[in-house]
Structure formats: C-alpha cells, structure tokens
Chain A
C-alpha cells in the first residue's frame, strides 16, 4: 500500500510491476523440465479513463496478460496494484472473498460472442447475473437496471426474455458488453472484442465502446491483433513480443514514428484498403518457439538492424523522448518508418 501515499489528483488506476507467468514444460526422458515464459517481467500503468491498446502476434502473451490482471489466471510473480477508492490493493495478495468483491470493478469482454454467452440463459439472466451476485439487488430495481443497461448498449428492451441464439454476432457482443458494465466497473478488459465481427458491425461496436467510455469514464485495456482497430480506439499502445513489452507510446506517435524494429515490421505488414498506397512489406521469419527464446533480444533473428550486442544482451524497456518507451539497444540511432 506504499503507493497510496502519493496524494496527487490523478493517480493511475492500475500499476503492473514485473508481472510474470511461467508455465512448466515437461521434459522428456533425457530432457530436464523447463519453463515457458508466457509473461516475462511486464510493467506498465493504466491511467483512469484511458484506453491502452495491447497488440502482438498470436502466442505473444496478450491474452495471458489480460487474464492475469483479473487474476483469472494465477500469475507466477510480480505485483498488480489496483486503485480501489483511495487505496491501492495488490490484487495478487487478496483472498478469495475480497478478490470477488474487487472483481465488480474489473470486467471482461470476450472475443467469441457465441461461446461467451450461456445458451440456456435469457438476456435478462445474463445481464442480471453479475448484479445479483455482486450488488445483491433484486425485484423491480433489478429489472430497471437491466433495461437501462440494454438501452445503454443499443439493444431493444423488448428482447429481454430471448435467448442468445436469437441474436446476431454484433447484438450478442452488445449483450456481453452490457454484462460487463452491469456492476459499474472501473476497468474493462476487452480481449479481441471485435475480431469475430464483420467490418460494418465492428465499426458499430467500436463506436459504442468509445461512447460508453466518454459517458461512464471507464478505463479499457483493449487487446487485439488488428493494429488499425487498436489505433482507432487507443490513447496509448503497448506492443508485445514473446511475453515482453517491446514498445509503449501514445498511439499517434507510435504510428508516425515507431522506435522498435518489431513495431516497424508490424506496421509494414498491414494492407491498406487504398489501392494507391503501395507498401513495402518487410516481413522476415516467424515467431520463435516461446519455450526456447534465444538469449539476448528475442527479436534479433528477425531484425534487419541487429548488431552482435543484440544476440548476447537483452535490451530492457526504457524511456526515450516524450514518454515513448522501447526495448531496443539501437532505438536512438535508428530512424524507423511509421505507417503514415
């Protein structure tokens, strides 16, 4: 609780420090067991009311990070401090009961609008469930609150007693959002919340998420593999590669002037819907096996700027100009190409 002594007006909502999640990998007969480092020392802060986008290729640990913050997956080490009222609480030290109480403040929206809703519950039951377990309201008040939530996410209240199968993908995602907002959370983790939707519906949901943030002052951790979507919704963006953050910056800044070669590669790979934009895709190699990460910089085998130092010494995430963080030995000397 030492952080609570900072009595400034805008303390961060969430402070993640050196978060780790290791999975044991069984060895063979002649192979010793080892560890797969899904998260390897992640540190960042989330300001109240902002959206932090989290991008990376599949297998880089984005989802693990999102779930560790809610302690849906038990992290192996580190510290996650959440501002609850006026005091910071270390989520990892909470017992089951206080964790359950705190979870009303932290909710999640999932990728799959089909798998994340119970097909045997009506919309009312789905949205009311967090209210009855966490806020313990019932009767007329409960019905009113559910109706209010449905209106908030753009669903017609008359659909209250229908089952999820009667809704389209976009509408189901709205139900998922209403459920997440039911307890008035401070933090909503959106794990690929729009990836399964068609573009026209995706735009509706993105606009809805933005509107809700303005209205309710929610903080989002927005996890996605789609960089254009992340840029659209985020104030700041964090790029992950093999369990580590490699770059963190304001979103316009990162797109205009990336400081890590991996970000440059990701940006170069996005096809533009404008046929006049000719991009120079410079993508090389594939993500190495996370159970066998090379020493030094994990990206060095795919990096065209690598120097011998990169193969031996692991670069730490460090601050460069204007709150721009990057984990690259050569961040200052390289001038990398952005997307605009």
Chain B
C-alpha cells in the first residue's frame, strides 16, 4: 500500500423514518503521506460525513454499511505507532472501519494519528475551559502524563501557530479571542499530538478573506513543518486551488470527478464540475459577465433510484442511459477519473466487484 490513508468503496447511511438516507454511497480516495487532498462539494454532497467516517465520529443514527478505511501504520510517525495497536503487524494496513468506535485502539487514533479541525471555532471550542486547558487535555491523553511538560508543549504549540503572547492566551477563554485567533487555537490543539493526517472541515469558511489567507498560509507552513497529510473539505474552489495537490469532487454521496488540481479545475470533464466552476464569480470577470448556473438544487438521497444522481440537473443527460444506470468512475487520463456516460459506457454494476482507486498517490 503506497498511500497513508486509503478509503475504499465507503458507504454510510442513515436509517430514517422516511427511508434510508445514503449520505455516502461508495466513495474511494486516498491520501499520500505529506500530501493534500481537497474534497469539493456543495451542502448535502456527503463530504463532511466522509471526513467524519475516517475518525469514526459519524453522528447517530449514521452507520458505515460497507467499505474499508485503510491506514498504513508503516508510514506513520514512529511515536504514533508505538502501542497504538497491541501486537499488530506494522506492515499490514489497519481497517479503521472495523474498529469499535468506543474502543481504546480507536481512541489512540483520534487525535494521535488523525486529527480534525472544524468550521466554526466558537462552537467547537468549549466556552467554559481556557484555551490552555483544552490544548493540554489532548496532550495529556496522547503524549505525556506530566502536567508541567504538557503545559510547555501547549505553549510551544501556541507559539508555532503564531499566536501573539502565548502565555497570556493560555489562560484566556475562547470568547476573548477573535475568529482567526480561535481557529489558530484549534489548529494548535489538533497539531499538539503530532498527527500524521489532519482533516480540515471547512477550516476558513467562517472567516474573513484576509484572515482566511493567513490561516491557509499557516496551514501550508505547518504541513511541511510537521510532514502531515491534510484532507481539506470545502465548497470553495479558490481554497482548493490554493492548497490541494489532488481533488475529488463529490455529488450526492459519490465522487464524480477526481484528479490533480490542474486536471480537475483547468480541464473539468463532468458536467457538474463544469457547472460548479462556471457558477463561481471570478475576479477576472468583468461586471457585465453573466454567470453560468446549474438548474434546480441538490436532491435529498433518501432511497435514491439507481441512476446518475446529477441526471435531473444535467443538460447533456442521455435518455435511457443516465436515468437508468449509475455510471462508473473511469480513468480518462493518468490520474484523472470521471463518472459520466459522456466519457465511458461503463456502469457501476459491472465495476462494483473491484473497488477503484482514485486520486492516486498524488
């Protein structure tokens, strides 16, 4: 296995009163050590659930119904490997999807191996604990049992995320800090245990553009400093273009297109990706420019029919094909995969026995 994290044919569904909501319906992707993957999608595309599945923190009643989340322990940082999986062989990949969500082994993975930062730093930080307490909590769980040492590590982390006056920030509560500073505190917390993979779920969506550019720069710097893989979840194509090496575009629980940033954003092949790029107002556009739109809106995938999820909004839909079969994700050129009948006649059923590898090793 050459990738650090490899997700194969992951399926997550929510059994609801109205039916089964298939939030993630066969997603495969992989992230190489030290690389960045950007997962793009609108609300309802299942991108956040995919990210949460890797940490096994899917909200109830969601369950992983199928698929593998493989982690290669031989590529982890040495300190994360020790004791993490008792008696397991470090040359064999570990399937996180099979671990008990409340078990000790998985608790070691969360924070220690895979860490996560969230969109809204105000709601994901505890308002009744100081910044320092919240960072040391994670350090005490994973790195040391000595409180003094933990405090030193926490202060060093605050310094590394370029917080001014770390000693004072350590004693402050989240409401004392501005949005950008809170996001820095959250990044410090996520990185305090030196994870190999960081999942950033809309890390800059709630921030002003100026603060956003500072935080993205910081994350890029820290990525090379800590040598970690980052999985960005975002709806902002600008953010993806700036930080990601590879991109996966999600629509209705499936990856519809994936490849390198350049392949997907410069040469989009799926009608949805094209529409998405066309509907973003760009700086280079004159004000008279008319935006391209995608008609309709994202449907809710409760007991979805077996057909292409985008068919109702697609201008190029082929009758008798797109509305009865699910297209398979097929390679177009090296590393560039598209799930669309305009490019290949392969349907999902023919291909379902063999999970496909997408987004490559970057």
Chain A: residues with CB nearer than 8 A to chain B? 57-58, 168-171, 198-204, 206-207, 210, 225-229, 231-235, 251-252, 255, 265-277, 281, 283, 286-287, 339-340
Task: List which B207-266 residues lie within 8 A (CB) of chain A.
Answer: 208-214, 216-217, 235-242, 261-262, 265-266
Residues of A within 8 Å of B293, CB to CB, are: 200, 203-204, 207
Interface contact B281-A225, CB-CB below 8 Å? no
Given A203-B292, A231-B283, A275-B261: A269 touches B276 (CB 8 Å cut-off): no
Interface contact A273-B238, CB-CB below 8 Å? yes
Interface contact B213-A271, CB-CB below 8 Å? yes
Picked from B180, B239, B266, the residue with its CB within 8 Å of the CB of A286 is: B180
Residues of B within 8 Å of A202, CB to CB, are: 279
Residues of B within 8 Å of A207, CB to CB, are: 290-291, 293
Interface contact B209-A269, CB-CB below 8 Å? yes
Residues of A within 8 Å of B280, CB to CB, are: 199, 203, 228, 273
Give Cα distance in the complex from A228 to B282, angstroms.
6
* A–B Cβ pairs within 8 angstroms, 29 of them: A57-B211, A169-B43, A169-B297, A199-B279, A199-B280, A200-B297, A202-B279, A203-B278, A203-B294, A204-B293, A206-B281, A226-B281, A231-B281, A232-B289, A252-B287, A266-B209, A267-B283, A268-B213, A269-B212, A271-B241, A272-B238, A272-B241, A273-B241, A273-B277, A275-B241, A276-B262, A283-B214, A286-B178, A286-B180
Residues of B within 8 Å of A287, CB to CB, are: 178
Label chain A's interface by main secondary structure: helix
- 8 further A-B contacts with Cβ under 8 Å, apart from A232-B291, A275-B262, A283-B213, are A57-B210, A200-B294, A232-B281, A233-B287, A271-B238, A271-B241, A271-B242, A340-B283
Chain B: residues with CB nearer than 8 A to chain A? 42-43, 178-181, 208-214, 216-217, 235-242, 261-262, 265-266, 275-287, 289-295, 297-298
Residues of B within 8 Å of A199, CB to CB, are: 42, 235, 237, 276, 279-280
Minimum CB–CB distance for B221 against chain A, Å? 13
Given A199-B280, A232-B291, A273-B277: A252 touches B208 (CB 8 Å cut-off): no
Which 10 A/B pairs are nearest by Cβ-Cβ distance? A271-B238, A203-B279, A273-B237, A232-B281, A198-B42, A200-B294, A203-B291, A269-B213, A281-B213, A57-B208
Picked from A252, A265, A286, the residue with its CB within 8 Å of the CB of B286 is: A252
Minimum CB–CB distance for B248 against chain A, Å? 15
Give Cα distance in the complex from A168 to B278, angstroms.
21
Give Cα distance in the complex from A267 to B211, angstroms.
13
Residues of B within 8 Å of A255, CB to CB, are: 283
Give Cα distance in the complex from A225 to B275, angstroms.
23
Interface contact A272-B283, CB-CB below 8 Å? yes
Q: Nearest CB to that of B237 among chain A residues?
A: A273
Give Cα distance in the complex from A255 to B281, angstroms.
14
Q: Nearest CB to that of A339 among chain B residues?
A: B283
Interface contact B279-A225, CB-CB below 8 Å? no
Interface contact A170-B297, CB-CB below 8 Å? yes
Give Cα distance in the complex from A229 to B285, angstroms.
10
Q: Nearest CB to that of B287 among chain A residues?
A: A251
Minimum CB–CB distance for A239 against chain B, Å? 12
Residues of A within 8 Å of B276, CB to CB, are: 199-200
Minimum CB–CB distance for A50 against chain B, Å? 11
Residues of B within 8 Å of A229, CB to CB, are: 281
Minimum CB–CB distance for B185 against chain A, Å? 14
Picked from A168, A206, A272, A275, the residue with its CB within 8 Å of the CB of B291 is: A206
Residues of A within 8 Å of B279, CB to CB, are: 199-200, 202-203
Minimum CB–CB distance for B59 against chain A, Å? 20
Residues of B within 8 Å of A339, CB to CB, are: 283-284
Residues of A within 8 Å of B217, CB to CB, are: 281
Give Cα distance in the complex from A235 to B287, angstroms.
7
Interface contact B241-A286, CB-CB below 8 Å? no
Give Cα distance in the complex from A127 to B171, angstroms.
51
Residues of B within 8 Å of A273, CB to CB, are: 237-238, 240-241, 265, 277, 280, 282
Interface contact B287-A232, CB-CB below 8 Å? yes
Residues of B within 8 Å of A57, CB to CB, are: 208-211
Interface centre among A169, A226, A268, A281 (most CB of B within 10 A): A281
Minimum CB–CB distance for B285 against chain A, Å? 6
Interface contact B287-A234, CB-CB below 8 Å? yes
Interface contact B297-A201, CB-CB below 8 Å? yes
Residues of A within 8 Å of B287, CB to CB, are: 231-235, 251-252
Minimum CB–CB distance for B269 against chain A, Å? 16
Q: Nearest CB to that of A278 among chain B residues?
A: B242
Minimum CB–CB distance for B220 against chain A, Å? 11
Interface contact A168-B241, CB-CB below 8 Å? no
Picked from A58, A198, A227, A274, the residue with its CB within 8 Å of the CB of B266 is: A274
Picked from B211, B235, B266, the residue with its CB within 8 Å of the CB of A275 is: B266
Interface contact A228-B213, CB-CB below 8 Å? no
Minimum CB–CB distance for A333 against chain B, Å? 24
Minimum CB–CB distance for B101 against chain A, Å? 30
Interface contact A198-B213, CB-CB below 8 Å? no
Interface contact A340-B42, CB-CB below 8 Å? no
Residues of B within 8 Å of A233, CB to CB, are: 287
Residues of A within 8 Å of B283, CB to CB, are: 227-228, 231, 255, 267, 270, 272, 339-340
Q: Nearest CB to that of B209 among chain A residues?
A: A269
Give Cα distance in the complex from A273 to B262, angstroms.
10
Q: Nearest CB to that of B294 among chain A residues?
A: A200
Residues of B within 8 Å of A234, CB to CB, are: 287
Interface contact B265-A274, CB-CB below 8 Å? yes
Give Cα distance in the complex from A316 to B256, angstroms.
52
Minimum CB–CB distance for A219 against chain B, Å? 16
Residues of B within 8 Å of A276, CB to CB, are: 262, 266
Give Cα distance in the complex from A339 to B285, angstroms.
11
Q: Nearest CB to that of B217 among chain A residues?
A: A281
Interface contact A266-B210, CB-CB below 8 Å? yes
